Structure 1
Amino acid sequence: MENKRTFKNTIQRCGSDKILPMAIVYMFYIILHGHLSPGGGFQGGVLMVAIVVLLYFGHGYETTVRAINPHFLHGAEGFMSVLYVAAAMLGIAYLGNFCQNVFYNIGNIGDLFSSGTIFIMDSIVGLKVLTGVGALAITMLGVLMAEYAGEKK
């Protein structure tokens, strides 16, 4: 029985280790290209849940918490909120409207930096969702682990 469990854990860990880097790159790709194609900050940030779950399945809760600190994510989420408001205030400072697109005439259509503050705000939304959903997923896994440990006794 123990041999079977070890083999299963090895398969989970190897699969997780192979998929995890691709999931991280794909998440940031969706966040950074959200203003050019369907998807964007929110959708890319939500992929953080898949990354947390992959790390959890492959390496366990303790390693997940060491690799992705939920306290850091919580603080970074608040910082991203402040950054979003600051980027939205650029519209008031330059054109008189909150969330107004500023610097929209920079770059060529279809380039990564072609949409002015929309790119900046979309990236900030992606990072905010990434940090918030990541912290939420780790917290939920922690509650699950605590309940599982309580049932085992």
Structure 2
Amino acid sequence: MLNIDEIQNGIVIDHIQAGTAIGLMDLLGIKSNRKASVALIQNARSYKAPSGRKDIIKVEGDASWLNLDVLAYLDPNITVTIIQDGKPVRKEKPQPPKKLVNIVRCRNPRCISSIEEECDQIFELSANGKYRCIYCEQELQVKQD
């Protein structure tokens, strides 16, 4: 069995759908040039995940620069545990953000955000629980596995 040391101060992003953690790291801006140590665990056994597998990201050090709002949009089952002095102090299940700014692109080729280079890509959460472009009302298409 693989053994990854515990972290002293930082965060653990857990219950990530198996095989998606690398893309998640890119969207969160986790890069190797940060001072924080990062551990990526892929295809770990999970009794809760429908597939029986999950990914985990551990970030040791200051993780205040992470934008965790996007987590609930990407995977509603993700949990974030805050670690201080080697002990978990808080566990959160992120809620879907009201707005997604520059996370995903509008697929409508006639949308102003697709035409203008410096226009932010902004999607708002609608009453039906789906995200819509604020410029053209295009509904965000979510990948289905």
Higher relative contact order (CA 8 A, sep 6+): 1
* Structure with the largest fraction of strand: 2
Q: Fold-level match, TM-score > 0.5?
A: no
Which range, TM-score by smaller chain? under 0.3
Which has the larger Rg? 1
